[in-house]
Amino acid sequence: MHELSLCRSLCTSLEHEVQTRQLKQVLSVQLAVGSLSCLEPQALEFCFSAMAKPSALEGCKLTIRRQPGNATCRQCASCYPLENWLDPCPACGALERDLQGGDEVLIEQMEAY
Amino acid sequence: MCGICGCDSSKLAPVFGSVKITKAPEKTTLATQTIELHQDLMRSNHHQAEHNRDWFSHHNLSAINLVSSPGAGKTTLLEQTLTRLRGRRGALVIEGDQQTELDAARIRATGTPAVQIQTGQACHLDASMVHRALHQLPESDGALLLIENVGNLICPAMFDLGEKARVVLVSVTEGDDKPLKYPSIFHQAELLIITKTDLLPYVQFDTRKCIEHARQIQPDLQVLELSATRGEGMTAWLDWLEGQ
Ligand SMILES: [Zn+2]
């Protein structure tokens, strides 16, 4: 349940923004989650809702945007977005690749007043 | 059933949807603003992992992070490794478990200093837990630091501990499709160890297939096969450790 740890970081970051920007209420927050990360969006949502105590985060809508990784094929050098670990290179069908990204978790933006 | 909250997962929203929680905020006259953040949620762990890396290089420690599902034989492998390492190279151990000091007690019985981290709710070690454990270990420059992560192939994948190498263990009593089921952890590993090979005659495990699957995820993965209880394959493992 590493989603719990991540949600704790998420709430800490949001609370920090609330304090420094003197916000009253966070309406929504958008995350970009790499599709190759081992994060379960439903678990993330469940943890987030369980953690939103009466605070500026209560009622905040969590949106999770799936973001593929960038793969470079070791056989034919073509670059392609990778959604799933076992998707082959669309150009030559090879599986051997080098990856940039795909496992990141970013807080992209928040809506607040 | 969903393993997290016990609900009927078939009735839940699709994966990567969005969810609205608790009550909606009341109407306000204040202007709503959109704030761009682009913050890495893992950054505090990355930061701590870099700090650990500095510590390791300052003390010339080679930190190895051992990951596997529960029961793959990490502690037995460590016991046998430490017994054989005696007189060759100093070693330190950090043990991660949700509860109990049992594994650390087994390690200390080999004469190796060991710290047990009880992670409680968390099913993985993070960089700050390792950092705190480092302060409890004796100074031992040039040693091997073996970190036995919590038995779990999912959660530890996202947490960089600052280690030099990640080693993933699969025992022959598991399925040979483990790499396909838990790709993230295999993607980040330098070495795959297939353990309990003495049981191969009694189980349905295709070693060749397991290696093939793992290399589909990580083409550069090195592989060792061993039986820690029988001692077969241990020399190659000790040689690999020697090179770290
Ligand atoms: Zn290709």
Write down the ipTM of this complex: 0.85
| Among B19, B124, B216, beta carbon nearest to A49 | B19
| Among B16, B19, B159, beta carbon nearest to A66 | B16
The CA-based dihedral angle spanning residues B33, B39, B44, B47, taken in that order and rounded to the nearest 10 degrees: -140
Chain B environment of A97 (Cβ under 8 Å): 219
The answer to whether A10 touches A52, Cβ cutoff 8 Å, is no
DSSP-assigned states of every residue in chain A: -HHHHHHHHHHHHHHHHHHHTT-S-EEEEEEEEETTS---HHHHHHHHHHH--SSTTTTPEEEEEEEPEEEEETTT--EEEESSTTPPPTTT----EEEE-SS-EEEEEEEE-
What does each of the 113 residues of chain A score in pLDDT, given as a tens digit? 688 888 888 999 999 999 999 999 999 999 999 999 888 888 888 888 888 777 888 889 999 999 999 999 999 999 999 999 999 999 999 999 999 989 899 999 999 99
How many A from CA of A70 to the centre of ligand 1? 13
More confident residue, B60 or B13: B60
Chain A environment of B13 (Cβ under 8 Å): 42
Give which of B9, B35, B166, B218 to mutate to test A binding, by max A Cβ within 10 Å. B35
Is A5 buried (19+), middle (13-18) or exposed (0-12) by CB count in 10 A? Answer: buried
Residues 6+ apart with CB under 8 A from B212: none
Q: What does the alpha-carbon distance between residue B146 and residue B139 come to, in Å, rounded to a whole number?
A: 15
The tokens describing A43, both together, are 């678990």
The answer to whether A86 touches B182, Cβ cutoff 8 Å, is no
Q: Mind listing the pLDDT tens digit for each residue in B116-150?
A: 988 877 788 999 999 999 999 998 889 999 999 99
In the predicted model, is pLDDT for residue B240 greater than 90? Answer: yes
Give which of A11, A14, A29, A38 to mutate to test B binding, by max B Cβ within 10 Å. A38
Chain A environment of B32 (Cβ under 8 Å): 27, 111-113
Q: What does the alpha-carbon distance between residue A107 and residue A33 come to, in Å, rounded to a whole number?
A: 9
How many A from CA of A77 to the centre of ligand 1? 6
Taking Cα atoms as reference points, which of B128, B124, B129 lies closest to residue B115? B129
The tokens describing B30, both together, are 């204040």
